[in-house]
Chains A and B, each alone.
Chain A
Amino acid sequence: MAVWLFILQRGSALVMAPLVLIHIGVMVVAVRNGLSSEEILGRTQGSVFWAAFYGLFVLAAAVHGGIGLRAALAESPLPRPAAGALGLVFALLALWLGGRAVAALVA
């Protein structure tokens, strides 16, 4: 139902609001310290905090992006069911790739 997608969309946006701010801050610090896999992994490996933080971020982004994509595509010449399917594909792809990335950084 449209209202549930709306709730998930706005809800995931609210969840991501503080996460985005922290992420931008983290990126500024990381870039300043010089980007290398050693630098990054040195901070993230074994960290429960970063696992939880970025795990939540990936989940929220996958949901938000999937529903957003569906909305945008539904207003294109594409048929409606295709818009929904592509949105779902994006969400699943983002969940999988994002989950892998978090695991790669935290394991």
Chain B
Amino acid sequence: MGKDMLSVEIWRGAAEGAFRRYEVPARQSQTVLDVVTWVQRELDPGLAYRFACRVGMCGSCAMMVNGRPRWTCRSHVDRVAEAGRLEIAPLRNLPVIKDLACDMSGFFDKWDRAEGRFHPTANRENDVAAIDPATPARAAANAGIECINCGICHAACDVVAWNADYLGPAALNRAWTLMMDTRDGAGRERLRAVSGDAGCHACHSHQSCMTYCPNALNPTAAIAGLKRMTVKAALKGEL
């Protein structure tokens, strides 16, 4: 194989399937998303994959690249290819619909189950909430709110792989940011929601989530915060 061709293996099928090999011309500054797009346009129109913004903002193009979950639009082939080879698969830990598109509904269900929803305590009749961004609580919330639900942390997490019910880093990170939001009114319910068998205490702090989050978030730190809050609440009899 010439040095200006890439050897690309792409998952075809659903739960059952196989990797199919394609030869793709190497180009300067090429991203993995460019590669997938080229294959679909030039070689195999039946290839199913997702993308939207293609500039690293929406998270739709997240896939497993050489075994690691990445945004393919932000993965330069030069940086991730191993000796001119690429292996591209759908995100881990979610059911595959077709080829590189996985079913995200389970991921969002966990968001719900972790009570990752804001419960307002005021309405438009009230004054605007006065929140000082310098307070520790707000700083902690701000550190986690840039999550765009791309599913990479969920794919990287081995506890998710080993315990199908585990709420996972994204949902728990969201729960933590809401616990740190002084306007929210569902703190008690949320702490209960994350205290089941598949809740925050199942995290073993591998920190794969933090390692692969493209937004540099740290769900493990958020989960540690939830552990502290739930322990305190339980010891006070408030859980």
Contact = CB atoms under 8 A, between A and B. Distances in A.
Q: Is there a direct interface between A and B, measured as CB atoms under 8 Å apart in the complex?
A: yes
Interface stretch (B17-25, B94-102, B180-188, B195-203): B195-203
Contacts of B227: 6
B163 interface: yes
Contacts of A4: 234
A3 B201 contact: yes
A23 interface: no
A80 B234 CA distance: 23
Contact of B201 (A5, A75, A76): A5
Contacts of A21: none
Contacts of A3: 195, 201, 230-231, 234, 239
Interface in A12-59: none
Nearest to B202: A2
A80 B197 CA distance: 10
Interface in B225-239: 227, 230-231, 234-235, 239
Interface in B73-103: none
Nearest to B231: A7
Interface centre among A1, A5, A74 (most CB of B within 10 A): A1
B201 A6 contact: yes
Nearest to A4: B234
Contacts of B163: 74-75
Contacts of B33: none
Interface string B188-223: 000000011101011000000000000000000000
Nearest to B230: A3
B196 A2 contact: yes
A1 B230 CA distance: 11
Contact of B195 (A1, A10, A71, A74): A1
Nearest to B197: A2
Contacts of A74: 163, 197
A69 B29 CA distance: 49
B159 A7 contact: no
Contacts of A7: 231, 234-235
A77 to B, nearest CB: 10
A2 to B, nearest CB: 5
Interface of A: 1-7, 10, 71, 74-76, 80
Given A2-B195, A6-B230, A75-B162, 5 more contacts: A1-B234, A2-B197, A74-B163, A74-B197, A75-B159
Interface of B: 159, 162-163, 195-197, 199, 201-202, 227, 230-231, 234-235, 239
In the A-B complex, the 10 residue pairs with the closest CB atoms: A75-B162, A6-B201, A3-B234, A3-B195, A2-B201, A3-B230, A2-B197, A7-B231, A2-B195, A2-B199
